[in-house]
Amino acid sequence: MNIDPHAAPEPIAFERTSRELGVVVGFDGSTQSILALHFGALEAQRSGRELTVVTAFTIPVQVYSTLAALPEGSDATHALEAASIVLNDARRYLEGYPGKSPFAAPG
């Protein structure tokens, strides 16, 4: 476990044998991604496959000239929180779709 609060979060390993992605939709909150989300949800529902919603973020390299210029939290933490907000928006858009929650934690 990484205990450095300023380190980037460790990626979650994807094991194809334990989790099928089904229909994958990239979501960033834009109008186009909302349309893609609805299309993907309908396709997943029609075909009986899982819906996987993904978003991405980058962590820019920051250079701080003084200790006072350091931000309160790490850039990685802020980026991860922003990505969580985007995925929560996707969750709200999908509330009306029947079926298994696409946001259930993998087993």
pTM > 0.75? no
> How confident is the model at residue 102, as a pLDDT?
45
Domain assignment present for residue 6? The answer is: no
pLDDT in tens, 15-26: 666 667 789 999
Domain assignment present for residue 82? The answer is: yes
> How confident is the model at residue 4, as a pLDDT?
55
More confident residue, 26 or 97: 26
Domain with 29 in it: what CATH number? 3.40.50.620
Domain assignment present for residue 49? The answer is: yes
Domains identified in the chain, total number? 1
> How confident is the model at residue 7, as a pLDDT?
56
> How confident is the model at residue 3, as a pLDDT?
53
pLDDT in tens, 34-91: 999 999 999 998 998 888 888 887 777 676 667 676 667 677 787 888 888 898 899 8
Residue 46: how many CA atoms within 13 Å on its side-chain side? 7
Q: DSSP letters along 69-89, please?
A: GS-SS-HHHHHHHHHHHHHHH
Domain of 29 in residue numbering reads as 23-93
Domain assignment present for residue 12? The answer is: no
